[in-house]
Structure 1
């Protein structure tokens, strides 16, 4: 049996890095499309520097990869967030965020789709966010993640007959490097945030990676078009 190959975007840090590590642990070879390289490559990882906010660069890199290797697993993790209240949102912020958070996943799947259809098999996981349900200061980010969930459902319907599943994993508060910089462990702000989460703590990147790995599994062929929150219960009804 051939070693499965997965393309993971934004795999050099944070949740993306945990996803890369988990997939390698599960026996995948992983291609990491990110602007910046990770501190060290993992065995079985290939890194390619790609500006996924640039449509032409994204298309070129994806087509080149598809011509070289049979990539039947795609994890659209790369994303950006710009916090701004409604009156301060700019058209530039909207354009930049949607280019990376929405357009890049579309272009990547379009490039890999012929190979998936030929194999009659594919697994696509999009990384959304609990902010897609609504959160202050997240007009642009929330719109992009809600849009990604909508695209997931549409793609799932269009591709189910080809043996291709498409699902979304939507994290809540997760202790990545960037999160910890803004929310230092033990700080009053962090303690208050943890108290607002039903699970009583923030999540770990590897917990999100576990959900991704589940959807990528060959045995998950009857699960498609779904949105799974990995949020410690925050999405159940709390607005924090």
Structure 2
């Protein structure tokens, strides 16, 4: 069977690492991201779209299903927008709801018929250790926690169709989005690493290996699960 993966946020960071690993394995990969990646591959298709725009996301979804039969859907794109409770806004909550939940729903509904036709599919939603609660993450934690509930529901509905749905929930990972919040090489970064049980910040490939486990066609008996890739940070408390 030939595999075609749709990866959101595939232009940089964790998403780019996932795309490159899948390409190495001989898959076709489609990336949906706001910016085009600075690299290319013969089996790599990029579509520029802002997933915060519901109409643009729906249009991109239609383009994809007209050109591809998607077997794997990896919803990796995300935004943090950190604020303390008193500064959190409903507008930002609605924005994070769209990118983390709304765009996932639109894209999944679009690729589902192809998965049903093949009686096979692998879906991985990228949540966060922050879903367990984290200061300055009111809106982010709420929507990332919502992804876990949504995935568990999809897993129940789609299991009889040969489609598994799982969640990867990373802790602090060395990505541009992480360094937008925590300055690279700062005392804050060093303190954070020291507070993680394994003693370091995660790397994109740490997350990619978890995604590839859930994406493996052989792993048909694992669905509705959440795997925290966080160096043990989900076991206790974490201060960023």
Q: Scaled by the length of structure 2, what TM-score is found? A: 0.96
- The alpha-carbon deviation at position 186 of structure 1 amounts to 4.2
Runs of 4+ in 1 over 3 A off after TM superposition: 180-186
Partner of 2:83: 84
Partner of 1:23: 22
Task: Give unpaired runs (5+ residues) of structure 1.
Answer: none
Query: What is the rounded CA distance, in whole Å, between the counterparts of 1:185 and 1:53 in structure 2?
Result: 27
CA contact (8 A) 2:174 2:204 kept: yes
1:215-238 deviation per Cα after TM superposition (whole angstroms, max 9, x unaligned): 111001110000000000000123
Query: What is the rounded CA distance, in whole Å, between the counterparts of 2:145 and 2:124 in structure 1?
Result: 15
Partner of 2:199: 200
Partner of 1:137: 136
SS at match of 1:218: coil
The 5-angstrom pairing of residues 103-118 of structure 1 reads: 103-118=102-117
Query: What is the rounded CA distance, in whole Å, between the counterparts of 1:51 and 1:175 in structure 2?
Result: 23
- The alpha-carbon deviation at position 213 of structure 1 amounts to 0.8
Query: What is the rounded CA distance, in whole Å, between the counterparts of 2:32 and 2:184 in structure 1?
Result: 30
Q: Scaled by the length of structure 1, what TM-score is found? A: 0.96
Query: What is the rounded CA distance, in whole Å, between the counterparts of 1:154 and 1:181 in structure 2?
Result: 33
SS at match of 1:237: coil
- The alpha-carbon deviation at position 207 of structure 1 amounts to 1.0
Alignment: residue pair count: 239
CA contact (8 A) 1:62 1:111 kept: yes
- The alpha-carbon deviation at position 43 of structure 1 amounts to 3.6
Query: What is the rounded CA distance, in whole Å, between the counterparts of 1:31 and 1:119 in structure 2?
Result: 19
Query: What is the rounded CA distance, in whole Å, between the counterparts of 1:87 and 1:186 in structure 2?
Result: 30
1:157-176 deviation per Cα after TM superposition (whole angstroms, max 9, x unaligned): 00000000000000001011
Query: What is the rounded CA distance, in whole Å, between the counterparts of 1:182 and 1:227 in structure 2?
Result: 25
Task: Give unpaired runs (5+ residues) of structure 2.
Answer: none
Query: What is the rounded CA distance, in whole Å, between the counterparts of 1:90 and 1:73 in structure 2?
Result: 34
CA contact (8 A) 2:6 2:31 kept: yes
The 5-angstrom pairing of residues 1-16 of structure 1 reads: 1=1, 3-16=2-15
SS at match of 1:219: coil
- The alpha-carbon deviation at position 73 of structure 1 amounts to 0.4
Partner of 2:211: 212
CA contact (8 A) 2:78 2:100 kept: yes
1:44-83 deviation per Cα after TM superposition (whole angstroms, max 9, x unaligned): 2110111211122111211221122111100001111111
